[in-house]
Structure formats: structure tokens, C-alpha cells
Amino acid sequence: MCGIIGYIGDRKASEVLISGLSHLEYRGYDSSGIALMRGSDVQIFKAQGKLKNLIEILKDKEDVCSSAHIGIGHIRWATHGLPTTINAHPHTCDCKSLILVHNGIIENYQELKEELTALGCHFVSQTDTEVAAHLIAHEYGKTKNLLKAMQQAVKKIKGAFAFCAIHKNEPDRIVVAKRNAPLVIGVGQDENFIASDIPAIIEYTKKAIYLSDGQVGVVKKNSIEIYDENDLITQNKIENLPFEAIAISKMGYKHFMLKEIHEQSDVVRNVLSGKLISHDDKIKLEEFKLTPEKIKKIQRVQIVACGTSLHAGMVGKYIIERYAGIPTDVEPSSEYIYRETIADENTLVIGISQSGETADTITAIKQVKEKNSHIIIITNRADSTMARLADSLLPVSAGIEVSVAATKSYMAQLISLYMLAIYLMEQKGIEKYHDEIVNLKQELIELPNKIEALLENTNDIKLLAKKYSSYKDFIFIARGINFPSALEGALKLKEISYINATGYGAGELKHGPIAMLDENMPVLAILNQGVVYDKVLSNCEEARARQAKLIGVADYVAPKDKDLFDDLILIPHVSDILSPALNIIVLQLLAYYIAEYLGKDVDQPRNLAKSVTVE
């Protein structure tokens, strides 16, 4: 959730650190800080709020900034302690010799803090990170070696961490450590970089070393040494980074979110590429490692995910059960990990995550791997922790997503799940839906063009956004395969506009939520031609009878029913089974334009983080 950057080389460290942190802002944060080292002198600068506040402080520190070539930096998303300057990273020890930045959560920090306090350590912040700084400094007092101090300290720490530390007595190195939190070392020529995510370093290097859990590294200007959890030196592969610097450019759009919404047609093409050739051909999923014989033995599918990915999984349940005929459960990872894990070798477990670093989902995957279930990961980051845990991997190829609110990654997840459901059906030899699948494949091939047609004229959605931007509450309703669309549409609106939006199954409206309906409560109904169309229409009439403002999103509404709605947004015609892929674009745009009209920070909404790396 937080962001780490480190640099050692000949460049101005401050410039690299600030640039790196600016490319990590999408992760969500509430304070920032850097530490710059010049010989044995280390200067720490911190600021509450946005990165621009830190940049303002550094304007008067040119003497330090111009001469420091080693440094570490951090943007913090508050977990332990308020988002204040004191709680901002970097943190240090009593003697101010060791400086540390940290991502993750130290679960036993209270016990460690009591032990260190008894040893004479004094704490100034409310953070668990300061405890780690004192602990490493305490171990350094015994070893006089930063590497050994880090190795000894991490053995006493429970929880998740990515550490990046420097010490005044060892001004030629940065020592790093990782467990259940992302950390990558960028490899350069006469310089090296450290970051919690690729965007921070992509403009400087295209090569990187990914640390594994339990590893500790010593990063110098001209060398990198990695040690395993037994303190033995090991060799990690140098890999090519999958992104280009242009991927984190707005390309003329006002916000990354709007750019990423408009990229969804190409995202669909990328997901389909090489997998769906024509409507007459079978789906090709070379990354899926189960044989047809083993697929036929699958008795149960479990989908674990969080947030937006969870909503994609709910659509996945609908299509897997329909076409592959396999009972499918969808559960938030945060709930799944705290109950009995019921799975076996005949269970297919699908983990979904944009970043591939979602802590709850990683824990769920680790738990279910012990049951010998086959794990397939759907992620936008083939270099992630979850991808490395996978038995099979479906990279969604959406490109880097900068805006905190997920849009194009959701679309990529949806299409990947359609591909997987059809693939499972075909591998099982099910013929029941053959003609329907042929039509669905053709629709998938045509989908990018329909997305582009929808995005070509968004004036009606803009007007709708302005009209409803003053409302404090919103309800989204749908049934069937679009119930998850209602949940995701409500999530998008609340994420970036802070309007209290809630999604419901339309049939549940009369079982409680209908009590909230009056002229001050807009209700957005998603209704497409299909088995539940008439039922949703009936639910709309119930809402209108309570004087609620009624908005329809549909591919068709009969002329006699149009007067039921205050406002109506029509999407290109699409079958009910594929309609979530078009409906969601309307909901994304509506949320975006409402938030923009209200002057909200669209790409970096308050309190949110792009990659949730703590449970």
C-alpha cells in the first residue's frame, strides 16, 4: 500500500527519489519523506499530505540535494498512527544512525516495543516501523554490520515487511529485506535502484531482481548480493521489466482513470489475442496446465478476491456454472482466510487480483495450496507474488493501471473469466450450449468495436453526472449476471466521489432497502433484454412508486416503458450474458464525471491504496 524507493549511484539521489515517489502516488498515501546520505551525514525530510509538500521543503535544501548520491524514500498510507509528519517515514533510532523505510505491518510490534523500551529505547511516533528501526539498530550495536543486523532483526519480526535501510557507518550500501510485501531491485550501470513497484524505476532501468520472501540484500553502486533466510548467499535471476515509461503517461487525458477507461477496447483485444481466433475455433489457453482428464474431475470451483476483483469473480461464478456446469463459490479473501479451508485435489481455485500483491488473497492462495488444489491466478502483473504462487497463470495484459479506481483491469478480468468458462466447457466436451457459445465468441470478437462506439459519444453521461452530482446517496440495482455490475458501479461512485452508493439485487429492494426511497434517492437500474428483464422493470416500478429518481442503463427499453425513467442511457445491443462488459463502462464514466464535476482527486481518492499489501 505504501511506496518505497531507494537509489545508490552517481545521480542526484533526491531527483531519483522524488521521481520514483511521484510514480508511486497511485498506490495511495497520506505523507511522504526521504533520507539523503552524504558520507556519514544523513538528512531526513518529511511532509504530511501530498508529495508536493515535500518538494516544497526540498527547494530550500539544494546544498544537500545536489551532493547526495544515496537515499531512500517513502510514501505512507497510515496503518499504525495518524497521518502526521512524526509518523511519516523514514524512521530512525535514538542515535539517529540507522534510517529505515517500511511497507507492511509488524504484527508483534507491541511486544518488541516493550522489550526495546526496557532496553532504554525511546519512541517518538505511533508506528510499528519505528519499532523495526530500533530493533535493527539494537542488533547493529551487537554486530557492527548492517547486513547481519537486518538478518537477525527480521528473524524476530512477525508479519509482513519490505525494509530498506541505510546506516551512517556504512555509507556505501543500502540493505533490504522482504517478507509478504513486494520489493524489487532495479539493476543499472554503476547505479542500482530499489522500489516497491516497477513504475518508480522504469524510466531508469529495464532490468530488475525480484526478491523472494525471507531474502535480505546488500545493494551497492556496482554490486548486489542476495542472502536467503538461512543467511546463505544466493543468486536471483535478472529479469526484463514488462513496462515502458510511456505506460505511466496520461497521453493527453485529464486523468489516468479517463485514459484507462478509454483503453478498454484495446484491453479486450489483448486478452482475446491468441486465445480466440474465430467463433468456429476452440478457446486456446496454453497457460492453463490441467489436462482435459483432470478438468473433468473438477467438482468445485472457488474464487477468492477482494474489491473490484471480487465483483469480476461474481460474474465468473455465473458463467462458469452456466457453461462448465461446475458449482462455484465466490468469497472475499479477507473472509476466506479466517475459516476452515475446505478444498481438495478436485477443487479449482481462482485467485483474482489486479496487482497480484493483495495480501488477503495471497494468504488465501497459500492456505489452499496446502490442500493440493490447482491454483489459477488471474492478474495484471505476471511478475507478482500471486503469479509466482500459481499452478496456472492467466495474465490479463491490461498494461499498468495508475488510477486507484480499477477500470481496465476489471474489464480484463471479466474477459479472462469468459475465456476460462468457455475453455472449461470445451475441454469437458459439453455440447449443450454449442450454438450459444458460437454466438458469444462472435460477440467477444466484436466487443472492442462496441466499446469504442459507446466511448465515442459520452455527452449524455456527462449531463447525467452533472444532474445527479448534488445527491448524497445513490442506489444501484440489477439482477442475474448484472448484479455484480450494480455492486461495482456503486463501488466506483463511492470510491472517487465519496457519495454513499450501495448496490443491491433488484429483487431484494422490497426486503428492506425500499424504506430509503423517496424523491432524494436516485436509483440506477441495469436492465438488459433477457430472462430477468421484466423482473427488473417491475422493481423499477416499485422504486418509481416511492418517488425515487430513476435512471436506466439498458440496451433496449420498449417505447411504452420509457416514461418510467427520469433518465435513460442506452448501450449498443449485446446479449444478456455479455452485457456486464458494456454496462460497466457507463457506470465507470458516470462515477468519473460526477467526481470530476465535484472537484475530487479522481486518480488518488482519499484513504485508498492501489495495491492493498496488508491484511
Which residues are marked as active site? 2, 610
Q: Residue 24 and residue 325: Cα distance in Å, rounded?
A: 42
Query: Which residue is listed with cell 505491518?
Result: 105
C-alpha Rg value of the chain to the nearest Å: 26
Q: How far is CA 602 from CA 77, 245, 254, 503, 548, in A?
A: 17, 22, 10, 21, 28
Q: Residue 176 and residue 243: Cα distance in Å, rounded?
A: 24
CA angle 509, 513, 516 (to 5 degrees): 130
Q: Residue 415 and residue 411: Cα distance in Å, rounded?
A: 6
Neighbours of 24 (CB within 10 A): 27
Q: Residue 205 and residue 193: Cα distance in Å, rounded?
A: 9
Grouping H, G, I as helix, E, B as strand and the rest as coil, residue 387 is helix
The identity of residue 581, as a single letter, is A
Neighbours of 490 (CB within 10 A): 24
Query: Which residue is listed with cell 510514501?
Result: 75
Q: Which of 489, 574, 560, 491 shows the shortest CA–CA distance to 524? A: 489
- The 8 Å CB, 24+ separation contacts for 560-567 are 561/537, 564/537, 564/540, 565/540, 567/464, 567/467
Asked whether the beta carbons of 504 and 486 are under 8 A apart, the reply is yes
Q: Residue 484 and residue 313: Cα distance in Å, rounded?
A: 9
Q: Which of 537, 580, 320, 285 shows the shortest CA–CA distance to 450? A: 580
